[in-house]
Structure 1
Amino acid sequence: MERKLLLTFITFLSCTYAAIAQTAASTYSIKGSLIDSVSKNPAAFVTIAVKTPDKQVIKTQLSQKDGTFKVDQLPAGKFILSLLSVEYNTKTLEITLGEKETLDLGMITISPANTQLKGVSVTAARPLIKQEADRIAYDLQADPDSKSSSVLEMMRKVPLISVDADDNIQLSGNTAYKIFINGKPSSLMERSPKDVLKSMPASSIQKIEVITTPSSKYDAEGLAGIINIITNKAIENGYSGNVTLSERYPLGGPSLGGSFTIKSGKFGVSAFGGASFANTPTTGITISRISTDAVPSNLFQSADRESDTRNAYLGTELSYEIDSLNLLSAQINLNGSNGAGEFFQHSLLQSNAVILQQYDLLTNNDNSGKGADAALNYQRGFRRNKSQLFTASYRYYGFNNEDITGQLFTNRNNYSLPDFRQVNESVMSEHTVQLDYVYPVKKLSIEAGIKGIFRTNESDFKYFSRDTEDNYAIDPAKTNTFNNTQTILAAYNTYQYNWKSWSVKGGIRLENTAVDADFITTASSVNQHYLSVVPAVTLSRQFKTSSINIGWNQRIQRPGINQLNPFVDRTNPIFENTGNPDLRPTKGNQIRMGYNLTNKGNLNVSLMYNWIRGLIFQVSDFDPATNITRTRYENTGGAKALGGNVNFNYPLTQKWNLSINGNLMHGWADGISGGQPISNKGFMFNCNLSTGLRLPKDWRISGSAYLNGGDLTVQQKTNAFVSTAFNVNKDIIKDKLSFSAFTNNPFSRYRVNVTDRFGPNFNQVNHSQQNFRTMGGSLSYKFGKLKDAIKKNKRGINNDDVSN
């Protein structure tokens, strides 16, 4: 009996083991590596779809950056393996699973697509975020909202970038950065970038890069980093273009923008441009200032304002392939704008209920400006290694701005300042020459270069007082002609070493700066000379579906013409604003750590710490003798900021996606006002939540909510606000003609921005009403047919040494 029981138990164990073994062997895997049949490079981010013989998809996955893929947890049987990508022709393979646990397909070659894919619909969303050692890239073409939005609106989704209540762009909570177009500085982004970006359709942009840790090859200026807007896509033989027409009401107006590319043989041209008309209906503003001196005073001002602006821009890039090793390229960018505004103000100054001063003021303003830049680049390649390059570049850049303001006083009470006019004309010109050399040695890449920048800033400002006979005469005490020249000589050397999935990059940059400033009217001058040593280092590690990186660098901030210009703006006579020709550059440090995970969705997390001394701040002093608050740029105190950014994109379903982009920073700032120390601290945060849903028949709806927690500087704080946006778009002709309609902030017509400003002897609160609700639509059309890609210089001039 016991023997029978033992045999039965052994038989049971044997059957159980066989069942477990059979179950374990019932799941199988497929692996392989995808290679571009033309370039022989790995084919990254290709969709791998496993289908049943009746074409039912049972599993999908993306190939990795190195082209490899592995699909697990598959049953035994016969299947169809489909390789799908917009960049490659679709390829299918018949496979049978069951003989081996892992079926190794080895190296699979796929051919680049020469025509549009027909009959294939890739419903999986491609990654919006791509992280490299020193930068994060946001793919606008992968975001359907780009069809109906401007570039400025899309920037709210880009990691580390935020947009404040006045549409001013901040990078990591800082306004000291540079904006490039296609990896090069452009006059389009120098004068008023937000006006251009408002009129630039996002559908004409490929991606926006945030260069978080610029290497030593970049100029050392730009404390926060560089924003690089890529407009040109992979250009091919033939022609291609897109045009977008949009209208906004009541805030804004019509705008037209687009791009065009043509290539014939060795010659190629790409261009982008646009124009816009913007109307700002009447809004109100109030200012309340209380002094805390021995004899206190109370100022209250209320005003109505309105303005109209017109803006146009055009950018072109040209390329000529002399042969396989020699390439010539050039760029020409033009832009211009003009505007007019009217400001009617009532001002009342009291002390202990006694009127000290009272008047009404009508201000009329006309402003205009234009800018241009042109560059020529020569690139020499070498047969021994395609990555070895020598580049010689020259660039000219210049702009001029003119601002004319007239002030007329009425209903005066104890106020004797005569009517006056202000005319301020500023001119900037710059010549740059640069030599760069890249020399690879196996896994090590060495870069070196020298550069010279020769810059001239000029300002001619005049103040005209009105006499009793209605004549205007120049007031010499308030008039001056300013001339500032800068000569910057720089050299850099960087090294990058790649080993398996590790990459380390380090370098150093030397910049010698000479500044000569002359005040021609007052016969005075300022001379400065300084040497800057700026290091940078980054370390990154790539994993199968994720990556980490850490970087430290130093950056400097040189004062720009608006900060140096001693012109005193007396548009509001109680508040005077001026530049400071004695400003010196600021040096800042940044440590940044980043983590990126790409799977079904995408997660990007960044942590950073910045510290700066001698920061260029606007400092306000209240003079009780004149009751005037004077604001001037100063190298005072410093600032520290600790915080991070989270960017998350996830497809909830094949047709419904969710995106979150949030920044949180805690800032500390200190300085000097009125000869006394002042400080400020607090949290700064913003978050953009957006979602989109694809509907049948090529319809799509989307919505977003943006929370901005306010901002702070050494002397002020601003309030928080929430904005919303809703869009609907329809492909009338798939991938050709699309229509979009939108409404922004439909629940509130106006927004009130509150700014609290303080000093040792005053407190001030500004309430600024802004038009908030807008609605409109746009029509976008793409055309053309392309074949072979245009070559572009891999190196060029990047002047990022002056702050915005």
Structure 2
Amino acid sequence: MKKLILTAICGCMAAIALCQTNTALIKGSVTDSATQKPLSYITLALKDSTGQQSIKSTLTKPDGSFEINQVTPKAYQLVIIAVGYQAKTITIPAFSKIFDAGNILLANATNQLKEVGVTASRPLVKQEIDRLSYDVQADPDSKALTAMDMVRRVPLLTVDGDDNIQLQGSGSYRIFINGKPSALLASSPKDVLRSMPASTIQKIEVITTPPSKYDSEGLAGIINIITFKKTTDGYNGTITSRYSYPWGPNLNLTATAKQSKFGMSGYVGVGRQSINTTRLTNLRETYSASQPTAITSTFNQDGIYTWGGNYIYGSTEMSYELDSLNLFTASVNYNRGVFRQDFSRQTAFTGGQAGAQSYLLLTNGNFDWEGLDAGFNYQLGFKRNKQQLFTASYRYSYYLNGQNSEVLATDRINYDVPNYNQFNDASTKEHTFQLDYVHPVKQLTIEAGVKAILRGNYSLATGQQQAGQGFVDDLTRRNNFVYDQDVYSAYNSYQLKLTKWTFKAGLRVEHTRVNANFITNNNTLLKTNYTNAVPSVSAMVTLPKNQSLTFGYTTRLERPYIFQLNPFVDRSNSQYINTGNPNLDAVTSQLVEITHTKTGKGTLSNKLSFMYTGNSIVQLIKLVNDTSTRTFANAGNTKILRWNISGNYNITNKLSVNFNSGLFYVWLKGPFNDRFYSNEGIRTNTFANVNYKLTDSWQLGATGGYNRRYINLQGGSNDYPYSSVSASKTFLNKMATITAVVNNPFQRYFDFKQFTNTPDFYQGNTNRQFYRTYNISFSYKFGRLSSDIKKNQRSINNDDKSSAGASN
């Protein structure tokens, strides 16, 4: 036995020695041809003699040297790649043990560009079978602007003067971060997007006909903000500091790292919203029932709004590749903000039931938010086909919105409402379990899956009323609300790819169970169950001369969200109150669209779409006892016919233009508060951006846009124009960038007005916005990478809840 073991050991040692004698070494160094300085962390790829197959890759050391060990001694091609330099290929002849490539000189890429006179620009917009994507990293202004600024530039999206977002003219949509929903973005997207730097975003996708693997929520579709970039062996990162006047500073770090089977990617940032003060006005005129033109009462408020605070955000995604078939990933997203908000409103009221009144209304308080998403995924691959996948996923999501206000009145004339405090915490917690399977069969890809979302919502509201020198609990302001919603779903979809045609079709079935309880309202219970079948069909055909035609049809669903259901009565302005409606029903819509796209030196896309929504959830105002109450109701039948044209074109090698314009007609009608309303009209949104590459390191830009007013069931808003100019400079071998942007240089303020006009009353609310803003940012890249990180191709997407948005 001992002889047998000894023989085996000797055989292994001989085999190892034989292998070592048949391996060779390739070495050398890389140097800047102009400065003669060594270039560290430059990527080198070793390929076979034909240049078709990759053998190995490595990075240069800090002194510029490199070694590629244990290669078979034969002929190769060595490719050297570096950002800012001309790629170079070295032919390595057959050799025995060591090949010394010597000192390899890399020329600056700018020299080569000047010699051949060719430059290339990444297209900003790309049309796919069911979505349109905007490449944020190809926009030179992205380093200095916020995510909200970039959303204004994306085709099919509209942002008004109060930063409310619409998708194809609708305020019902879902917002994802990296293909995953965020409960926080569902309730308050503008607050989060204002604080998120655009430098963390890779691209923004607008999915207008989501396939069946997505939950059915979002009448107009899905906005997917992709922040994570591919990470590779080694590490890299970008640190960006930004200051915006008058908003304040922001510091952000984006980093990626990968070592062997483990990879990590993420970003973290902090910011401060400077304390700012702007003006606001409220006007309400009440009409006589017998004489519609006669004004019976007038309510005026003229005051100031002061706000500011701090915020922090972070996101990370990790992966571990056990082997080529087993992959584990995990992700965590966190966002928190704490803001101060104070109002001072000089109020005058004439002609009401209580007679003439005047007082100074002071509202002092805070609002804060906190959101957490954490998920874990396991992906199993199959040897027969790399596209065959099974994925099991779990996700936990939590968010909390808190509000507290102290409401005081001074300088009172005929106003006897006591001072009071109000508090409200509204929260959502949800657990999601999901299984997905992808099975390719030649040109056909079959997908199927099941999912369960267990969601709990609650609202805890309390209040106090002044009594003497102190405050006592006011039971009339207490309202505890629990709303549990469980959604069980299954889907099956098919995608067929032919030579010129691509088809995608599927069906999703969702069963919803609702259990609500008004704890302080005699424990009133609300239970309901409903089932929805949601089809989705898309087709894309490739035409001659780089053209394509895309068709899409889908049915979408909107479930009411906690901020719409919450019965908490916000009385921070005693005669302009806001509340939710816990009796809201789910809403369905029908969407059909056709898109023609032509690519070449530039891209031109034309989209025509029509959407119908019955019994849609809209925000409305009713007047009761001289008090305006804003709430939500299933009161609108909506039709939107839209034509959108977008494109980008390189006029010269240095000058490029990007534009998009939407023209749509809106019809609205529906009953509310024992009256039937209707409204219709034309809306537009137009945007254009021009970029000029002054030199290889300098870029200049100019932007302009115009949004035609919103059209609501009871009113609308004023028009909204905007503009900006920008300049950016790269240096330190393109590792550092400084960018400056001036938004709306010709106008310091903009008064955004929203109005309601009914036979009973007119109400106008005007908020003054800071319009002229200055942004300057500095970013620096560090580190080097060399191979892609693994990510699950399927994960949890809870796109079954509506997002906050403005009306049509």
- Mapped to 1, the partners of 2:753 and 2:51 lie a distance apart of 56
Q: Which residue of 2 aligns with 1:234?
A: 230
Identify the match of residue 284 of structure 2 among 284, 289, 293: 289
Stretch of structure 1 that moved more, 161-170 or 184-193: 184-193
Give 2:551's aligned residue: 550
1:496 CA drift (Å): 1.0
Matches within 5 A, 1:516-665: 516-522=515-521, 523-543=523-543, 544-623=545-624, 626-665=625-664
Residue 731 of structure 1 deviates from its aligned partner by 0.6
Using the TM superposition, give the Cα deviation of residue 88 of structure 1 relative to its aligned residue in structure 2, in angstroms: 13
Structure 2 equivalent of residue 222 of structure 1: 218
Tell me, yes or no, if the aligned pair for 2:539 and 2:552 is still in contact at 8 Å: yes
Q: Match for 1:653: what amino acid?
A: T
Quote the residue 2:316 is aligned against: 316
Check 1:117–1:290 CA distance in 2 against 1; reply closer, same or farther (3 A cut).
Answer: farther
Look up the SS of the partner of 1:477 in the other structure: helix
Counterpart of 1:131 in structure 2 is 127
Quote the residue 1:708 is aligned against: 707
Q: For 1:190 and 1:442, locate their aligned partners in 2 and report how far apart those are by CA, in whole Å.
A: 39
* SS at structure 1 position matched to 2:224: strand
CA RMSD across the alignment: 2.5
Q: Does the 8 A contact of 1:563 with 1:633 survive in 2?
A: yes
TM-superposed CA distance for 1:568, in Å, is 0.6
**Contact 1:201-1:258 at 8 Å conserved across structures:** no
Q: CA 1:354/1:787 → structure 2, altered by over 3 Å: closer, same or farther? A: closer
CA distance in 2, matches of 1:406, 1:344: 12
Q: 1:412 to 1:269 in 2, by over 3 A?
A: same
Deviates more, 1:119-128 or 1:598-607: 119-128
**Is the Cα contact below 8 Å between 2:690 and 2:703 reproduced in 1?**
yes
Aligned to 2:74: none
Distance 1:733 1:127 in 2: 26
What does 1:297-376 align with in structure 2 at a 5 Å threshold? 297-351=297-351, 355-376=355-376
SS at match of 1:296: strand
Secondary structure at the aligned position of 1:726 is classed as strand
Deviation at 1:256, TM superposition (A): 1.3
Inter-CA distance 563–352: structure 2 relative to 1 (3 Å threshold) = closer
Counterpart CA distance in 2 for 1:702 and 1:433 is 46
Amino acid at match of 1:760: P
Which segment drifts farther, 284-293 or 552-561?
284-293
**2:88–2:106: 8 Å Cα contact kept in structure 1?**
no
1:64-143 to structure 2, matched below 5 A, reads 119=109, 120-121=112-113, 123-143=119-139
Alignment of 1:418-433 (within 5 A): 418-433=418-433
Q: Letter of the aligned partner of 1:349 in structure 2?
A: F
Distance in 1, Cα, partners of 2:171 & 2:352: 40
- What is the SS of the residue equivalent to 1:571? coil
Per-residue CA shift, 1:278-327, capped at 9, x if unaligned? 13522211122111134821111111111003221100000000110110
Amino acid at match of 2:181: P
Q: Which amino acid aligns with 1:659?
A: N
On the 8 A contact 1:148/1:729 being kept in 2, the answer is no
1:253 match: 248
Q: Does 1:438 align with 2:453?
A: no
**Partner of residue 198 from structure 1, selected from 194, 198, 211:** 194
Q: In structure 2, what is the Cα distance between the partners aligned to 1:143 and 1:85?
A: 22
Alpha-carbon distance in structure 2 between the residues aligned to 1:449 and 1:184: 16
Matched with 1:758 is: 757
More displaced, 455-464 or 347-356?
347-356
Rounded to whole Å, the distance in 1 between the matches of 2:474 and 2:352 is 35
Instruction: Give the stretch that moved more between structures: 393-402 or 750-759.
Output: 750-759
Aligned to 2:162: 166
Do structure 1's residue 37 and structure 2's residue 66 form an aligned pair? no
Question: How far is the alpha carbon of 1:441 from its aligned partner?
Answer: 1.1
Separation (CA, whole Å) in 2 of partners of 1:796 and 1:354:
59
Tell me: CA distance 1:651–1:456, structure 2 relative to 1, closer, same or farther (3 Å): same
How far 1:435 moved relative to its partner? 0.3
Match of 1:194, SS state, is helix
CA drift of 1:38 comes to 4.8
Instruction: Mark the CA change 1:578 to 1:697 in structure 2 (over 3 Å): closer, same or farther.
Output: same
Shift of 1:458: 0.7
Using the alignment, how far apart are the partners of 1:618 and 1:272 within structure 2?
A: 36
From the superposition, tell whether residues 445 and 427 of structure 1 become closer, same or farther in structure 2 (CA, over 3 Å).
same
Match of 1:275 in 2: 270
SS of equivalent residue, structure 2 residue 571: strand
- Compared with structure 1, are the counterparts of its residues 256 and 36 closer, same or farther at alpha carbon in structure 2 (3 Å cutoff)? farther
- Change in CA separation of 1:420 and 1:208 when aligned onto 2, cut-off 3 Å: same
Consecutive unaligned residues in structure 2, runs of 5 or more: 1-49, 56-80, 91-104, 290-294, 804-808
Contact 1:201 1:244 in 2 (8 A): no
Residue 29 (structure 2) aligns with: none
Cα distance in 2 for residues equivalent to 1:600 and 1:300: 56
Cα distance in 2 for partners of 1:36, 1:717 equals: 62
Partner of 1:768: 767
| Offset, 1:358 | 2.0
1:734 aligns with 2:765: no
How far is 1:118 from its partner? 5.2
Cα distance in 2 between the residues matched to 1:676 and 1:704: 44
Q: Any conservation in 2 of the 1:187–1:335 contact (CA below 8 Å)? A: no
Whole-angstrom CA distance in 2 between matches of 1:288 and 1:601: 49
Q: Cα deviations across residues 19-56 of structure 1 (Å, max 9, x unaligned)? A: xxxxxxxxxxxxxxxx993599xxxxxxxxxxxxxxxx
User: Could you tell me whether the CA contact under 8 Å between 2:145 and 2:775 is conserved in 1?
Assistant: no
Look up the SS of the partner of 2:426 in the other structure: strand
Equivalent residues of 1:358, 1:414 under 8 A apart: yes
Structure 1 length-normalised TM: 0.84
- Equivalent position SS for 1:297: strand
Per the alignment, in what secondary structure is the counterpart of residue 570 of structure 1?
Answer: coil
**Deviations along 1:346-387, whole A, 9 cap, x unmatched?**
111112999532221111021122111110000011111111
Query: How far, CA to CA, are the matches of 2:128 and 2:604 in structure 1?
Result: 14
Asked whether the 8 Å contact 2:342–2:364 carries over to 1, the reply is yes
Paired residue secondary structure (2:563): helix
Segment of structure 1 superposing worse, 218-227 or 354-363: 354-363
1:210 is matched with 206
CA change 1:199–1:629 in 2 (3 A) is closer
The answer to whether the 8 A contact 1:195-1:311 is kept is: no
CA offset at residue 136 of structure 1? Answer: 0.9
SS at 2:191 equivalent: helix
Most deviating of 756-765 and 198-207: 198-207
Deviations 1:539-576 (A, max 9, x none): 11123512110100011011111001000111111112
Which protein, 1 or 2, shows the higher relative CO under an 8 Å CA cutoff with sep ≥ 6?
A: 2
Q: Which amino acid aligns with 1:237?
A: D
Q: Distance in 1 between matches of 2:385 and 2:683?
A: 48
Q: How far off is 1:151 after superposition?
A: 2.2
Classify 1:446/1:380 alpha carbon distance in 2 versus 1 (closer, same or farther; 3 Å). Answer: same
Unaligned 5+ residue runs, structure 1?
A: 1-34, 41-83, 94-114
Corresponding position of 1:688: 687
Taking the aligned partners of 2:267 and 2:369, their CA distance within structure 1 comes to 20
1:718 maps to: 717
Separation of aligned partners in 1, 2:464 and 2:167: 40
- The verdict on how the C-alpha distance between 1:595 and 1:531 changes in structure 2, with shifts beyond 3 A counting, is same
Q: Does the CA contact (< 8 Å) of 2:186 and 2:801 recur in 1?
A: no
Give the 3 Å change call, closer, same or farther, for CA 38–555 of structure 1 in structure 2: farther
**What is the SS of the residue equivalent to 1:254?**
strand
Q: What's the counterpart of residue 790 of structure 1? A: 789
